Structure 1
């Protein structure tokens, strides 16, 4: 998995009826775009995450950029 600042990370819902969770990557902490990533949710909450296999990088830049 490789990402850049401004990309979106989509974490797919794990159960039926659970929606995908989309966050903006605000900082890449790994080497050459690899995890972990500092991410920001829509509500402004930030955290550091190392995404699992249920996640994909959306290279379209997040809105508001």
Structure 2
């Protein structure tokens, strides 16, 4: 998984009735755009994440 600052990270829910969560990538700490990422969720919560297979990156220029 590769990302840049400003991209969106989507976390797909695996629980029925719970929607997907999205967050803006505000910092990339791995080499060459790889995780971990520091993200800001819609509610303002900031968190360091190591995204798993239930997440994908939407490049900023596609939004």
Q: TM-score, normalised by structure 2?
A: 0.91
| Distance (Å, rounded) in 2 between the aligned partners of 1:45 and 1:19 | 17
Q: Deviations over 1:19-57 (max 9, x none)?
A: 000000000000000000000011211110000000000
| Distance (Å, rounded) in 1 between the aligned partners of 2:40 and 2:16 | 25
Aligned residue number for residue 41 of structure 1: 41
Q: Quick check: which one's helix share is greater?
A: 2
1:3 Cα deviation after fit: 0.2
| Distance (Å, rounded) in 2 between the aligned partners of 1:44 and 1:56 | 20
Q: Once superposed, what is the RMSD of the aligned Cα atoms?
A: 1.3
Runs of 5+ unmatched residues, structure 1: none
